[in-house]
Amino acid sequence: GFVDDSAVLAQVGDSRAYILRSGVLTQVTRDQNLESALRAAGHEEAALDEANQGAILQALGVAADVEPSLSMVEVRRGDLLILCSDGVHGALSDQQLVSILGEHEVPLGERMLRLRLAVRAMGAPDNATAAVALLDGPRLRAPAGDDDQPAFREFDPQGEGERALTSTSIVVRRLAARVGLQTPT
């Protein structure tokens, strides 16, 4: 959803949201996987073998209840908001996403077709779903320059006021504790 000049995103699992602005791709959600939980708990993710790094901690339809991670990011006129499953971001590098979706002179529908063809060509190992929106309109400010890049903050629905906004993943820390990873003192 959108509130004024901010996008509010709810995320579960390892699908992602990105903002593409001025040729720079910024992930604006945090994966809910074991690697992210280890980092949030202050552990080295190198302790994981490669097969377990992407193990997701929750997903829709697996358990009766999930705890979405909520994040907010200021958006600008001309931003591309990209929502995609791990079949897309796992098959293509960030640079490939920028190369395909960042061609402003190409109509958005054509860029989406190119994205689909690229993911298929890479043999996506999982479901590959993407939605892309070009954010525009007079209510949005133009980027102040190339350095005006998005920075998201997570929102803790259990908090109030300014302390509800954080730069660390409260949800992932709770998920880490649920799987037995304690934050080092």
Residues in the chain: 185
pLDDT at residue 161, as a whole number:
66
Whole-number Å distance between alpha carbons of 58 and 174: 12
Report the alpha-carbon distance of residue 38 to residue 41 in Å, rounded. 5
Q: Give the pLDDT band (50/70/90) at residue 90.
A: confident
Nearest CA to 36 among 18, 24, 48, 21? Answer: 48
The pLDDT score that the predictor gives to residue 118 is 94
State what percent of residues in the chain have pLDDT above 70.
75
pTM comes to 0.81
What pLDDT score was predicted for residue 38? 74
Q: What is the mean pLDDT of residues 52-56?
A: 67
pLDDT tens digits, one per residue of 1-42: 998 899 999 888 888 999 999 999 999 988 877 777 777 667
How many whole angstroms separate alpha carbon 80 and alpha carbon 91?
20
Task: Give per-residue pLDDT as tens, 102-121.
Answer: 998 999 999 999 999 999 99
DSSP strands (E only) in 61-179: 69-74, 80-84, 130-134, 152-155, 165-166
- The pLDDT value recorded for residue 185 is 43
pLDDT value of position 87: 85
| pLDDT band with cut points at 50, 70 and 90 for residue 95 | very high
Q: Is the pLDDT of residue 44 over 70?
A: no
pLDDT at res. 36: 73
pLDDT in the model for residue 64: 77
The dihedral region occupied by 82, where left means phi > 0, alpha psi between -120 and 50, and beta the remainder, is: beta
Could you tell me which residue, 48 or 162, shows the higher pLDDT?
162
| Token couple for 162 | 């300014």
The CA distance from 15 to 12, in Å, is: 7
